[in-house]
Amino acid sequence: MATQNELFEQTVLIVDDEDINRKMMANILAYEYKIIYASDGKEAMEKIHKYGHRLSLVLLDLFMPNMSGFDVLRQMNKERLIAEIPVIVLTSDKTSEIESLHLGAADFLTKPYDLPEVILARVRHSIELFENAKIIHATKPDKLTGLYTPKFFLEFASQIDSRYPEKTMDAIVINFTRFHLLNQLYGQSFGDKVLVAMADGIRNVLQKNGGIAGRKDSDTFYVYTSHTDDYSIFVDALKAALSPLLKGSEIRLRLGVFSDTAHSHTVNERFDNALQACNSIRNKAGKNGEEICIYDNEMLENEKFQAHLLHDFETAIEQKQFKVNYQPKFNITGEKPVLCSAEALIRWIHPEFGFVRPDIFIPLFEEHGLITMLDRYVWEESAKQIKLWKEKFGVTIPVSVNVSRVDIAAPDMTDFVKKIVSENGLSPQDYMLEITESAYTEDSKHIIEIVENLRALGHKVEMDDFGSGYSSLNMLASMPIDALKLDKAFIRNIKPGNKDMKLVELVLEIARNLGVPVVAEGVETEEEYKMLKAAGCDIIQGYYFSKPIPPEEMEKFI
């Protein structure tokens, strides 16, 4: 890492059409500052544009050919550069001082020049005033950790960039996953101790490697340090600092890293990318041990791809690029499996990208608040399809649609369902709703109220993805549901007599006692089918019978 002096190396641009004047001023300032030159106003603007915020000061002669110093000040005002780079005017015409100050000059030096000590002092003073004005309001450290506040941290990082433009720096975002659980379990005071320990761990690394650190918010920290190939040093230091407070299994860290080797991003952009990398492992941390993600070209391309999908969303809705497929469900309680219903599942056939997987676009639309529009599109298309099958075959094939937590929060959700059922001449029993297990457990009071209202209208409600979340088995007794759907991960490893199969049998037994049928989804093999049937499972859904298929293919089952 650079020394303190190197980090604050300051550059002064001397603009004068007289070579002797430029050299004279450089002799006074060169000991303390890096000096660059311009011989007229036009060249001065070129240098100002080239060096930008790396300039600490411009010494500007007023009377020059091609473009005068007054014109330079006016142009800097027009481009709002005068607020970023201080200017001291050089002139022998004292009547020009007032006009130059009105144009934004910070000070003036008259020709012939004063003593070198006076010139140096006035240059120092102007630079210090300007730099202090930019950051003085943000110099207070974070009260809890003693690290920099976000504003000061980013300003300091920008200064490092401006004075070390060729140095490769790493932007690192460090987060403690599910930190809110620590506060809930042990109290805020304990949570504060964890944050202080994290700050100490970061300092320990920076004392050896150099760099700066700030606390972004709550449990998120920013680090700006010289490029390294080993980011595990931060993980190791943080774990060592946290181990007196927490067990190893309780320490859930994730690091997002962006290294701008091309020097093509601002500091804010670098930390935006590092945060994106950090967030990309939010759901992986604690599952597969992944703690570090480096923002790379693949992630950049993925971001562009996601931006493209978001941009195309409304057009896709209008042009019906989204296709609703149906996966049949079979009742297996009798001698032969019998088609009893189907689940509506969305597919996107993009005109440029072709088939886009639901596990890509659904979380994306959830994150950006578009999922309700997509879900309601599926709901409407499904209701129309039930009506078409009813008219064509004279029988009703009930269809279940997925309801997200966001959908349930919408105040008009129940009214919307009532409307599409009525418009298509359906009965509520024809139109089933699947609500994920996690929705029940996160806001159970509100969910139960909504579900009870829907069931009162005659709709059947299934708890979807049971086994993927954290609900306990005894919760089922208090939940208003008409069917329980076992998540495919729940039955993936079932074998005769193994623990997974015994757990499935336990759930089936409890469901029987509650009078609730069980749907097993994700059934792919004959062995799985036979084990579930023997254990008393009621309904099967999965590739063993059929993958999700377009409505016209679904008709072969009808």
- Residue 522 located in a structural domain: yes
- Residue 123 located in a structural domain: yes
Mean pLDDT of 384-395: 95
At residue 146, the 3 state secondary structure works out as coil
Contact indicator for 408, 450 with CB cutoff of 8 Å? yes
Q: How far is CA 237 from CA 74, 208, 233, in A?
A: 52, 12, 6
pLDDT, residue 51, reads 87
The tokens describing 127, both together, are: 């630079």
Residues 6+ apart with CB under 8 A from 450: 408, 413, 414
pLDDT, residue 477, reads 67
pLDDT, residue 486, reads 87
- Residue 355 located in a structural domain: yes
Statement: residue 383 has pLDDT above 60? yes
Mean pLDDT of 99-125: 85
229-271 per-position pLDDT tens digit: 889 999 999 999 999 999 887 888 999 999 887 777 889 989 9
When divided into structural domains, the chain yields a total of 3
Statement: residue 7 has pLDDT above 50? no
Q: Same domain, yes or no, for 377 and 450?
A: yes
Q: What percent of the chain has pLDDT over 90?
A: 50
365-380 per-position pLDDT tens digit: 988 889 999 999 999 9
Tell me which of 295, 321, 338 is where a domain ends.
Answer: 295
- Residue 245 located in a structural domain: yes
- Residue 64 located in a structural domain: yes
Which class for 538: exposed (0-12), middle (13-18), buried (19 or more C-beta within 10 A)?
A: buried
The 8-class DSSP code of residue 96 comes to: G
Mean pLDDT of 59-63: 92
Give pTM, 2 decimals: 0.59
- Whole-number Å distance between alpha carbons of 525 and 210: 57
State the greatest distance between any 2 C-alpha atoms of the chain, in Å, as a whole number.
Answer: 109
Q: Same domain, yes or no, for 176 and 271?
A: yes
Q: Same domain, yes or no, for 128 and 202?
A: no
Q: Same domain, yes or no, for 515 and 368?
A: yes
pLDDT-derived band at 474 (thresholds 50, 70, 90) equals low
- The boundaries of the domain holding residue 213 are 139-295
Statement: residue 176 has pLDDT above 80? yes
Tell me which of 94, 115, 136 is where a domain ends.
Answer: 136
Task: Quickly tell me which residue has 């300091």 as its tokens.
Answer: 156
- Residue 303 located in a structural domain: no
Least-confidence region, from 83-92, 406-415, 441-450: 441-450
Average pLDDT along the chain: 87
Q: Same domain, yes or no, for 385 and 491?
A: yes
Q: Same domain, yes or no, for 238 and 210?
A: yes
pLDDT, residue 441, reads 63
Q: Same domain, yes or no, for 152 and 122?
A: no
pLDDT, residue 455, reads 93
Residue 487, φ and ψ in degrees, nearest 5: -65, 145
pLDDT, residue 446, reads 78
Q: Same domain, yes or no, for 171 and 229?
A: yes
Statement: residue 283 has pLDDT above 70? no
- Residue 51 located in a structural domain: yes
Tell me which of 238, 268, 295 is where a domain ends.
Answer: 295
505-518 per-position pLDDT tens digit: 988 998 898 889 99
pLDDT, residue 543, reads 95
Q: Same domain, yes or no, for 265 and 361?
A: no
Mean pLDDT of 381-391: 97
How many helices and strands, by DSSP H and E, does the chain display? 22, 19
Q: Which residue has the higher pLDDT, 86 or 297?
A: 86
Q: Which helix (H) or strand (E) holds 157?
A: helix 150-163
pLDDT-derived band at 183 (thresholds 50, 70, 90) equals confident
The tokens describing 280, both together, are: 């990309």
Q: Which residue has the higher pLDDT, 490 or 60?
A: 60
Strand order of the β-sheet with 11-15 is 34-38, 11-15, 55-61, 87-91, 107-110
Task: Quickly tell me which residue has 């008259």 as its tokens.
Answer: 110
- Residue 358 located in a structural domain: yes
Q: Same domain, yes or no, for 116 and 253?
A: no
Statement: residue 53 has pLDDT above 50? yes
Q: Same domain, yes or no, for 194 and 322?
A: no
308-356 per-position pLDDT tens digit: 999 999 999 999 999 999 999 999 999 999 999 999 999 999 999 999 9
Neighbouring CB atoms inside 10 A of 462's CB total: 26
User: Which CATH number belongs to the domain containing residue 236 in this structure?
Assistant: 3.30.70.270
Q: How far is CA 335 from CA 96, 305, 557, in A?
A: 103, 49, 17
Return the sign of the alpha-carbon dihedral for residues 293, 299, 302, 304: positive
pLDDT, residue 442, reads 61
Strand order of the β-sheet with 220-226 is 212-217, 220-226, 169-176, 253-259, 292-294
Q: Same domain, yes or no, for 58 and 97?
A: yes
Mean pLDDT of 411-431: 95
User: Which CATH number belongs to the domain containing residue 410 in this structure?
Assistant: 3.20.20.450
pLDDT, residue 434, reads 93
pLDDT-derived band at 112 (thresholds 50, 70, 90) equals confident
Mean pLDDT of 105-124: 85
535-555 per-position pLDDT tens digit: 999 999 999 999 999 999 999
Statement: residue 285 has pLDDT above 60? no
Statement: residue 3 has pLDDT above 50? no
